[in-house]
Amino acid sequence: MDAFLTSLFALAIAEFGDRPQILCAALVIRFGRVQPVVWGLALATLVNCLLSAWAGSQVNQWISEEPVRLFYALSLLLAGVAMLAWRRPVDLLENWSTGAFWTSFLGLFILQFGDKGQFILAATAARTDAWIFAAIGGWIGVMLACLPAIILQERLAQAVPVVAMRKTGGTVLVAIGIILAMSAWGVL
């Protein structure tokens, strides 16, 4: 249950206001259809979460607990820093002519691949033997972060203080990452 809840909350925080959320809203506006974008997001995120969690479970077999704890702490710390830092604009995939589902699936898969969420999920899965629960929790977390953008589209920025939430989430992840890193180094 720890892996499930940890990955759910960490990814929901880390992905809110991030590029996948913006791309989801842009794709719904572009195609005028919600369902294919939701299905594309769901499948792309599921594949990415399964890959990340499985890779993390492999790390668990190679190294001892202390480096795994440090890996987890650093993944949260760096995700928080990324949330506080400037980010590149999102490519809205306007030149792609693959249809709503395939554009959503491929675009979001590529965008999420190697992103901070994957590192958080891999680090979470590395801490446990239940990597599948980490994957499911991470998938739900990303879906919870992106569904408001799909539903509200451009109204999201008006309805929710996205920048403030992003800064708050980044600060929380940095603080937790620092505390966990100090604990892993034996300082706390």
pLDDT of residue 114: 83
Query: Considering the entire predicted model, what is its pTM?
Result: 0.87
Determine contact, residues 169/13, Cβ cutoff 8 Å: yes
State the Cα–Cα distance between residues 15 and 41, nearest whole angstrom: 13
State the Cα–Cα distance between residues 156 and 37, nearest whole angstrom: 17
User: What percent of the chain is predicted at pLDDT more than 70?
Assistant: 99
Indicate whether 61 pLDDT > 80. Answer: no
State the Cα–Cα distance between residues 6 and 82, nearest whole angstrom: 19
pLDDT of residue 92: 72
Indicate whether 87 pLDDT > 80. Answer: no
Residue 122 CA: distances (Å) to CA of 20, 66, 95: 19, 15, 32
Determine contact, residues 170/84, Cβ cutoff 8 Å: yes
pLDDT of residue 157: 67
Kindly tell me the burial class for residue 128, based on how many C-beta atoms sit within 10 Å of its own C-beta (0-12, 13-18, 19 or more): buried
Mean pLDDT of all residues in the chain? 89
43-52, 59-68, 155-164, 172-181: range with lowest mean pLDDT: 155-164
pLDDT digits (tens, 9 = 90+) for 10-28: 999 998 888 898 899 889 9
Instruction: Spell out the SS3 assignment of 31-76.
Output: HCCCHHHHHHHHHHHHHHHHHHHHHHHHHHHHCCHHHHHHHHHHHH
What angle is formed at CA 151 by the lines to CA 146 and CA 156, rounded to 5 degrees?
75
Per-residue burial over 67-86, b if 16 or more Cβ lie within 10 Å, else e, is: ebbbbbbbbbbbbbebbeee
Instruction: Return the axis-axis angle of helices 116-126 and 35-62, rounded to nearest 10°.
Output: 40
